[in-house]
A and B are shown apart, each in its own frame.
Chain A
Amino acid sequence: MNAGSTARTFLAPVALGVLAIALWQALVVAFHVEPFLVPSPFGIAGAFTDGASNILTASMATGLNALIGLAIGAVSGVFVAIMANALGFLDRMLVPLVAALAVIPIVALAPIFYAMFGAAAETGRQLVAAVAVFVPMYLNTLHGLRQAEPVHRDLMRSYAATKEQTNRILLIPGAVPYVLTGLKIGSSLAVISALIAEYFGGPAKGLGRAITSSAAASNYTVAWAYVLGAVLLGAVFYGVTAALESFAHRRRSGR
């Protein structure tokens, strides 16, 4: 049973992936599907290895923006959530603004940020990623800060702890797992947002530019190799944050 469940968590998804890729390859070969419809997985893999260094360079450019955006969004999301939790009115004032922020599409936001912060700099992209990260960060942190159990609140009050002490000792550590959940959700959003923002300005580097310029020349196998790069980059971001999250949850499990 022990071995069985390990097999399930690791082998099952791999098996499904292999199956899907095999089927994909078989279909492409059997029906002579044109690459502009669906390139073959082997073709993509080939283009991926051929262009590995270009893809790596592009991934680094996009990944750095995503990382900075993630950091800005995470820090500001947590900070604003702490403020909103401490000042009830701020929380209520932010409700419509956060709701609006959650539904502004990147395509609308990116041009504004480039106009504000300069189109030749990476700042606009980083901020687009930051905004995408901010929303889940803020909501999760706020939720986490409110999870403090009444017994703990009573305890802090009985110690005549200051607001600052209550925040530092009780609320913020208690919110950590929720903060990390927000970070996990935000991580892949950061990558996608930074990538899409490349369409609208900033230095012509990165995965987004590479995807479009390959696609514009009908070079879909290469375009897909860059998409694969984007997926891997997103997976790395997600994987690292998910590992952080589960580590925190494991440390915290059971009360």
Chain B
Amino acid sequence: SGGTDDEASADSSSSAGASEDTGVTELKAVSVQLQWLTQAQFACYYSALDQGYYEDEGLDVTIIPGAVDIVPIDVLTSGGADFAVSWVPKVLGSIEQGSAVTDVAQIFERSGTMQVAFADSGITSAADFAGKNIGSWGYGNEWELIAGMQANGVTLADLNGGSTVQQAFDMNAFIAGDIDAAQAMTYNEYAQVLETINPDTGELYTEDDLVTINWNDEGTAMLQDAIWADSDRLASDEDYQATTTSFIKGTIKGCVYAKDDPESAADIVTAAGSTLGTSHQLWMANEVNKLIFPSTSGVGHINEDQWDQTVELAMTTVNPEGSTIITTEPPETAYTNDYVDAALAELTDEGVDVYGEDFTPIEVTLNEGGE
């Protein structure tokens, strides 16, 4: 019971039966390792699964949620999954350690990471971080923050206590004032703050109470959620190449579905086993849409300038141990647009709008506790 809602998968027996009737070839089993728990951050994948887009592509997809200590790239390279969803700077580190993986689709074009502070804290930019308590999650999620600080001439040693403060899975430390500027995803932790009662007013906190430092604006944004594939298999296995294109295609369709109907996407994710509150889930779906749409060159296409910026930051950002994320340029195989472009082409042929130029986010009202 509990173990099965863990991994979302289309009902393979019924689809197998259906394929016999229609004479379509059997569905191909494919698994994807996410980097965190089931939530609307991954609405593209869950929507695609729920709407049968993967099935349409001949895939029987299993979505494996992540957890605290799960490194998706390692799951991918150890054969535990066919694809992995992870942030680019983290993976660059793994690649330098010898992981042979390739970014085959850059689902998020924008970074969702920011640093949030209270309006009355006096913090308006990373330059103000010196002497303050600055929160971070670690696990490789801290690179944009460190890069942003570096760009503003602030080192880790300048922070209060000489290091960042380990942030837990909640925003209590920020609200209690232990952390002056906390790391927050636009789609998650930021909302958590807005779902909390401000004791001064007795109402929920509002965006006016907060200051945000967005790395997209600061120029230290790095690429986030991307689909990674196994480089060796891509090089040798034609079947895998085809699967890659199909998987990307289905996923992009899922993204488009979530863009058009965020309410439904949020419900799908909740049905897949997320226990996040309803308004929070919807907020997340909406914010994630903003990271994808409108898309400059089609959802998933890796823009070279963004990639280069990420790599450059990775080579110059100094970690607490005094070394940079990577010391040498990643290999050629680190990313390719071959598969995503093929998928985009097919989608365009099918009349799917992969740019979403007309995208307008909805207004989401957050309730206390995200209810």
Contact with B along A236-255 (1 / 0, CB 8 A): 00000000000000000000
Binding stretch for chain B, among A12-20, A115-123, A149-157, A175-183: A115-123
Residues from 132 to 176 in B contacting A, C-beta threshold 8 Å? 133, 135-136, 138-140, 160-170, 172-173, 176
Interface of B is mostly: loop
Contact of A203 with B161 at beta-carbon distance under 8 Å, contacts A114-B173, A119-B178, A120-B173 already known:
yes
Residues of A within 8 A of B168 (CB): 110-111, 114, 119, 199-201
Counting CB contacts under 8 A, is A184 at the interface?
no
Counting CB contacts under 8 A, is B264 at the interface?
no
Counting CB contacts under 8 A, is B332 at the interface?
no
CA distance in complex: A204, B136 (Å): 8
Interface size on A, residues (CB 8 A): 32
Give the residue name and chain of the B residue nearest to A110 (CB): B168
Our count of residue pairs bridging A and B at CB distance below 8 angstroms stands at 111
CA distance in complex: A37, B75 (Å): 10
Counting CB contacts under 8 A, is A165 at the interface?
no
Counting CB contacts under 8 A, is A147 at the interface?
no
Most buried by B among A110, A201, A209, A218: A218
Q: Are A120 and B170 in contact (CB under 8 A)?
A: no
Counting CB contacts under 8 A, is B208 at the interface?
no
Counting CB contacts under 8 A, is A217 at the interface?
yes
Residues of B within 8 A of A213 (CB): 138-140, 319-320
Interface residues on B, range: 35 or more
CA distance in complex: A147, B239 (Å): 73
Residues of B within 8 A of A209 (CB): 138, 166
Q: Are A217 and B93 in contact (CB under 8 A)?
A: yes
Within the complex, the shortest CB–CB distance from B91 to chain A, in Å, comes to 9
Counting CB contacts under 8 A, is B68 at the interface?
yes
Counting CB contacts under 8 A, is A36 at the interface?
yes
Counting CB contacts under 8 A, is B69 at the interface?
yes
CA distance in complex: A197, B176 (Å): 19
CA distance in complex: A34, B77 (Å): 10
Within the complex, the shortest CB–CB distance from A236 to chain B, in Å, comes to 23
Residues of A within 8 A of B162 (CB): 203, 205
Counting CB contacts under 8 A, is A160 at the interface?
no
CA distance in complex: A51, B322 (Å): 11
Q: Are B170 and A111 in contact (CB under 8 A)?
A: yes
Binding stretch for chain A, among B94-102, B266-274, B304-312: B94-102
Q: Are B321 and A54 in contact (CB under 8 A)?
A: yes
Residues from 272 to 306 in B contacting A, C-beta threshold 8 Å? none
Counting CB contacts under 8 A, is B90 at the interface?
yes
CA distance in complex: A34, B232 (Å): 15
Within the complex, the shortest CB–CB distance from B234 to chain A, in Å, comes to 18
Residues of A within 8 A of B321 (CB): 51, 54, 210
CA distance in complex: A220, B69 (Å): 13
Q: Are B320 and A204 in contact (CB under 8 A)?
A: yes
CA distance in complex: A218, B133 (Å): 28
Counting CB contacts under 8 A, is B223 at the interface?
no
Contacts A/B (CB < 8 Å), 23 sampled: A34-B78, A34-B98, A36-B74, A110-B168, A111-B172, A118-B176, A118-B178, A119-B135, A119-B173, A199-B68, A200-B166, A203-B162, A205-B162, A209-B166, A212-B69, A213-B319, A216-B90, A216-B93, A217-B90, A217-B93, A217-B94, A218-B97, A219-B97
- In the complex, besides A201-B165, A212-B138, A213-B140, 9 extra interface pairs with C-beta distance below 8 angstroms are A37-B78, A114-B168, A114-B173, A115-B173, A119-B166, A120-B160, A204-B138, A213-B320, A216-B71
